[in-house]
Structure formats: structure tokens, C-alpha cells
């Protein structure tokens, strides 16, 4: 897998919660798929997210009111749920 963690979150949670979380996880040596560092200008958003979802060992989902109002985050959560099996938990 290219990334250890795919981080799904709402933009509204980025400054207070998500950026500090990413910094702490990266300091532990984990490779994080995070929109600020993984997306490049000109990338297809759909393809980039799908690649991140499929090439990450696990997913962390930051649940909040803002998260449940967004279509993108619902799509990411669905992608992670679809990878879960009885024998393997993907979502942390």
C-alpha cells in the first residue's frame, strides 16, 4: 500500500483538529493520504480520492456535524466501508 492512513474529514474541522492529527501521525512515521499534501493542481479529484482510498491500509474518519453535511465525505466513508470485511477492519 502506498499510504498507511486515508484521512477523511470535513474542511471545517481542518484547522482545529485535522492538521494537528496529521502532524502527530506523520511524526510517528505514518504515511498519510491527506488532501493538503496528496492533491496536486490539475489532479482529478475523483480519481485522486479513489486512488487514496484503494491504496491506503486504513482509514481514519473524523466525524462531525460538518462531515455529515458533505457529499464528498459521505463518498469517502462509503469507499472505506466497502473495503471492510468480517476479518479485517479498515476504519479506525
- Active site residue ranges: 76
CB 2 within 8 A of CB 58: no
3-class DSSP assignment, residue 6: strand
CB 3 within 8 A of CB 56: yes
Output the nine-digit C-alpha cell for 25. Answer: 501521525
Amino acid at each position: 500500500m502506498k499510504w498507511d492512513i486515508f484521512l477523511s474529514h470535513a474542511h471545517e474541522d481542518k484547522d482545529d483538529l485535522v492538521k494537528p492529527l496529521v502532524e502527530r501521525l506523520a511524526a510517528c512515521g505514518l504515511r498519510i493520504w491527506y488532501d493538503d499534501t496528496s492533491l496536486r493542481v490539475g489532479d482529478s479529484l475523483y480519481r485522486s480520492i479513489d486512488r487514496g482510498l484503494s491504496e491506503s491500509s486504513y482509514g481514519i474518519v473524523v466525524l462531525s456535524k460538518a462531515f455529515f453535511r458533505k457529499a464528498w465525505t459521505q463518498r469517502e466513508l462509503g469507499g472505506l466501508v466497502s473495503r471492510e470485511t468480517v476479518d479485517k477492519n479498515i476504519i479506525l
